[in-house]
Amino acid sequence: MRALIALARANPSEPVLIADIAVSQNIPKKFLEQILLDMKHRGIVASRRGKQGGYMLLKPANDITFGEILRMIDGPIAPLPCLSQTAYRKCEDCNGESDCEIRHVFARVADATRNILFNTTLADALSGDGDTARLTA
């Protein structure tokens, strides 16, 4: 996330060296290389080789949500497997989802979390609107 924020801060037409991102964001360079390569394969960043090379966002910062990135990096966002939108699994010890009090509570948590993450962009974070992102009810 910090690397993408660093790229969002940069001039969109000028690639940023991976070494510069690693130093400014205190991220180990080898780890950052792997993350940015994965983000490149997923269409979030582009790289340019050579003297003027480096990484840049492939799409505008206001089109990249925290939820999109988090899901790419960590997988499902749901606090319980039975609440996942992308990797649903019935809980092993569940007697029935419709009667599960725990699921009902965590469903509200999951909805609120997704609402914030998928309605907050990198641009929102840069502008200080991360706390008041375009939230829906």
CATH architecture assigned to 2-57: Orthogonal Bundle (1.10)
- Residue 73, pLDDT score: 85
Q: Per-residue pLDDT for 136 more than 70?
A: no
Region 121-131 average pLDDT: 83
- Residue 112, pLDDT score: 93
Q: What is the SS3 assignment for the chain?
A: CHHHHHHHHCCCCCCECHHHHHHHHCCCHHHHHHHHHHHHHCCCEEEECCCCCEEEECCCHHHCEHHHHHHHHHCCCCCCHHHCCCCCCCCCCCCCHHHCHHHHHHHHHHHHHHHHHHCCEHHHHHHCHHHHCCCCC
CA angle 54, 67, 131 (to 5 degrees): 100
pLDDT in tens, 64-115: 999 999 988 888 888 888 888 888 888 788 777 787 888 889 889 989 999 9
pTM: 0.78
CATH 1.10.10.10 in the chain: give the residue spans: 2-57
- Residue 68, pLDDT score: 93
- Residue 28, pLDDT score: 94
- Residue 32, pLDDT score: 93
